[in-house]
Chains A and B, each alone.
Chain A
Amino acid sequence: MNNQFLLDNKNIIITGASSGIGKQCAISCSQRGANVILVARNEERLKQTFLQIQPGSNLYYSLNITNYNALEKIIEESVDRLGKIDGFIHSAGIEMTLPLKMMKPEYYEKLFSTNVISGFEIAKILSKKKYSNNDASFVFIASIMGILGQSGKVGYCSSKGALIAGIKAMALELANKNIRVNCISPAIVETEMTKKLFENMAKQTKESIAKMHPLGFGKPEDVANACIYLLSDASRWITGTNMIVDGGYSAH
């Protein structure tokens, strides 16, 4: 395999690393030779993920990432221990399905603080010279829902759309440091989060959603593989894009 597709000795920080897509990204990145720094709220699950990654120079931090003031400290400590950061995956995210009339300001704030602001804050900190290498790559896990609408998802869709819009500005701003910034927009991937989502749905609704995915629902690996590409040197000319990984969902 061409070495450009590997992540040998790259230091990669991953939020939402204890479950779903984030967890798979941690496992897949470490299999490709990266040192990973896992960040998530749930310490128990985080430890379990930590046991599943390749042994090596890895770290984990149990932290609520909306506690913005605590972010720089863990990045500083990671850089002290492993060296400068080469990659960042923002996979932490919460989902909410609620009709517009039941939405409240605090629900939007909750969605945006986890899905968007915490990721942008980490990118801000990492963009400092002392914390990241010149050719670093940031990847935000957005969603196909950031482009397409769905009833009951005004909050979720707008938060993911904010990522897709925000990374373009960020890509332009950080290009002079050779830092690349991209999004990945998956459709429905089989994770704990979507399992919960389906529990709240009638069987018919679930079946009709399944039909909208020509290649079926995705697996966390499908998204992790796209992440690896965007973090690797093979994608050195790609920035400011939103890579759609949706099994054909948006081809309709």
Chain B
Amino acid sequence: MKIADFLNELKETLEIDDVGLNEETNLKELEEYDSLSVLSIIAMIDENFGKRISGQNFQSITTIGSLMELIGMENFE
């Protein structure tokens, strides 16, 4: 998946309208971030990459870049 498309998927999942996201963005500092949004992101990743990320693994996530590393950089172009 193209990184720009992934960022758009994230924006849609978190329902972010006006903030620009990039790999440096700290997910947990976003206003829209809460425990339910984690479940939404996990479901979005499962749907797009066929990969189940546990909530525990998610705890180590900070930036969008670190989330992409968890998904596996080979999935991005």
Binding site for B on A (CB under 8 A): 97-99, 101-102, 151-152, 199-203, 205
Q: How far is the CA of A151 from the CA of B55 in the complex (A)?
A: 16
Q: How far is the CA of A102 from the CA of B40 in the complex (A)?
A: 6
B39 surroundings in chain A (CB, below 8 A): 97-99, 102, 152, 200
B42 surroundings in chain A (CB, below 8 A): 200
Binding site for A on B (CB under 8 A): 13, 35-40, 42-44, 54-56, 59
Q: How far is the CA of A101 from the CA of B41 in the complex (A)?
A: 11
26 A–B contacts from the bound complex (CB under 8 Å): A97-B39, A98-B39, A99-B36, A99-B37, A99-B39, A99-B40, A99-B43, A101-B40, A102-B13, A102-B40, A102-B43, A102-B44, A151-B36, A152-B36, A152-B39, A199-B55, A199-B56, A200-B39, A200-B56, A201-B35, A201-B55, A202-B35, A202-B55, A202-B59, A203-B59, A205-B35
Identify the closest chain A residue to B42 (Cβ).
Answer: A200
Q: How far is the CA of A199 from the CA of B53 in the complex (A)?
A: 10
Majority DSSP secondary structure for residues of B touching A: helix
Q: How far is the CA of A41 from the CA of B13 in the complex (A)?
A: 34
A203 surroundings in chain B (CB, below 8 A): 59
- Is the Cβ of A200 less than 8 Å from the Cβ of B54? yes
Q: How far is the CA of A201 from the CA of B40 in the complex (A)?
A: 13
15 extra interchain contacts, Cβ-Cβ under 8 A, other than A98-B39, A200-B55? A98-B40, A99-B36, A99-B37, A102-B44, A151-B35, A151-B36, A199-B54, A199-B56, A200-B39, A200-B54, A201-B35, A201-B55, A202-B35, A202-B38, A203-B59
B48 to chain A, nearest CB (A): 12
B44 surroundings in chain A (CB, below 8 A): 102
Q: Which 10 A-B pairs have the closest CB atoms?
A: A200-B55, A102-B43, A99-B36, A99-B40, A201-B55, A199-B54, A102-B40, A151-B36, A152-B36, A152-B39
